[in-house]
Structure 1
Amino acid sequence: MYNLEQYKLDEIIDANSLQDIQDKYSKLTNLSTITVDRQGVPVIKPSNFSKYCNLIRSSKEGYRRCITCDAMGGLQSSKLKKPIIYRCHAGLTDFSAPIIVNNIHLGSMLCGQVSIKEKDTRNSIDLQKLSEELCLPVDKLESALKEINTVSYEKVKNSADFMYMFANLIAKMGVANITHSKLLQETKEKMKFQQLARDIQIKSIQSQINPHFLFNTLNTMASMSLLENSNSTVELIYALSDILRYSLKNSDKMVNISVEINNIKKYLFIQSVRFKDKLKYKIDVPKNLLSCKIPAMTLQPIVENAVIHGIEPKKESGKIYINSKIKFGNCIVFKIQDNGMGIEADKLKSLKNKINSTNRDDSNIGMGIQIVQDRIKYYFGAQYGIDIKSSPDSGTIVYIKIPLVY
């Protein structure tokens, strides 16, 4: 296997995607944000930086101190493996959310450049000393410092916790993509190791969530200002946080069906807010099945496909219906149905061939369904898995068959 330490953060996460995430997070929270590597050096452009911090960084010595401060904040948070809140060298409050995958510190996302409302420390900053040491006009420092935002400690803490979950999930997605590509290459070169590669591949990609969903959710939340104390925005943030937490904690576990369904409800709630009246959904799972086990993240990729490929392209409103029942006495069959665009016959045939094939290609077509199919067969055997029925303009039905396990 490859050594993760040989990769830089911007090699693991696409720089444009990372910039998009950072910009939207900064807009959502109204906090200055920057993403740095292990040494504290920025890997993309900063977002929403304050006039005060831009002035500090305009000085060669000020920039050096900021890089050192960022590196120390990132290192300390990585050692503790959790976000930390600290006071920077220029007197403002920042927080560092470490990006850690497989116990390897890849970098950090740093936010803040604020003063804490409960303890405003701006008056204790020695601007005259800063002016002399950084060769900056003291009057400009004073003017810029007055524009610094004052926020509550609770907001800083909640923002730090959310950033930590989000940044690490995105990093895991990037590492999973690298792992997937490496395994595909090794499998082609060494066919006798195919089964081992497939087992590792399944483990490496279990924690993925479709970035399409994440980016669109951030777009939705960013357009609903937190400053307006919008209840909908708060509910969206809680729902997304719960989904991220669910993915990170349960990626390689079997969970109760009730837990999986609860996660799907949060996902569909977010999408229903995004699409407003365009998306309706109903979930009908008998109570006697809720305590049965299912691999975590089995249903979400299928539901995502229904939303993205079925409902989203429609001009009219769409519906998604999820139900389950016991069949043959020892199996559970989930039925995920949408009234979306449907799939043409040749594409459906190609999709079925792909998800039932032992060969893997580099395309993203049907990847989510393919992963679910692989995991079901990995856990339960070849007699279980997915079947798809669809036709253009008539929607799609996906059946998922798993054994009855308590």
Structure 2
Amino acid sequence: MVINPKYKLKEIIDVSSLKDIQDKFAKIIGLSTVTVNGDGTPVVTASYFTKWCSLIRSSAEGYRRCKHCDSVGGTMAMEAGKPIIYNCHTGLIDFAAPIIVNGNYLGSMLCGQVTSTNFKNKTLIDVKRLSRELSLSENDLFNALAEVPVVDYEKILVSADYLFLFSNFIAKMGIATITKSELLDETKEKMKLTELLKNMEIKALQAQINPHFLYNTLNTIARMALIEGAPDTENLIYAISDLLRYSLKNSNNMVTIDSEITNIKKYFYIQKTRFGDRFDYKIDIDPSILNFKIPVMTLQPLVENSIIHGLKNMTINGKVKIIGKNFNNSYLTLEVFDNGIGIDNDRLKTIFAVENSYENLTGLGIKNVDDRIKHFFGYSYGIELKSTKECGTTATIKVPCIKLNKREA
């Protein structure tokens, strides 16, 4: 049983509905009723409180004792898993029924504020002591006590059973609210993912611009470079063509890490041609992870962020490393490290909180990649960023060790 639950009673039960239920119950049985949370604090205004209890609670010390008494009574009912009957701190008879939602104790319904013909407990109430300890008028206490209902104990037993029915009804309302809330959250996540995929599709369409035309044009230029004796230009154009073909051909698919690494090597080749000696790169991948699957274009956005953003102020000695590790075939990590300018703490906090944050030139930002990983593998996986200003940034991708099947290839 969870004593400090995730939800509060007020969060899962409409307060006006709760008050209406409580009022109706109190009216049916003709006894004072209050609904409290786990620490004894009333959730809604009490129904048909006796003059005695209202007077006791008008004292700060009296209210503290009543609140503690209600908390203890509710806790005892929770531990018993059924309604209990007990004497409050002043000596009156109360009974409590727990409100338990999905194993979480949220509070209780309390009823009573009576004496019984079976116990004659009015004679046990020490008015003089209460007057002294609570700083209340002894005469007012005697007058209030005279108005406390005297109820047959059988009625108390039946009322306690009724109270349990009502507390269970409140619990079921809470379960329905939580279920509805969780379904709403799930729907929101699905809508968010749908919007993400829609945006990706739009970007892919924008990037395609008749891919066959682009492939043919690039290959024509490459052949011209070969004829003109420019092998470096030829290799560069073929690398660009392969990169474009890879991103568009696999836009909705999973790929092996081996394919992703092959693609990223071509990307490094293009960027090295562009930036020359400004940076070097190293790829160190555990061979055992090469056949495991990963969403297409997972590495390129992170590498591009390292080169374009991380190393933007460096003219020499820039470094980018990709390290792949296997953790007992349970999960694997791919670390993308750069020794660049780093990301300040304020910026680091917003990267996963803002849509399209820290986007690179491809339009696939870090958050986008993280969202896709979580979509395919669950919220235990994704990207973790660590960065130190002027020292560099490490983006760690975590995915499960799952091999690519033919349908996904």
TM-score by length of 1: 0.45
TM-score by length of 2: 0.45
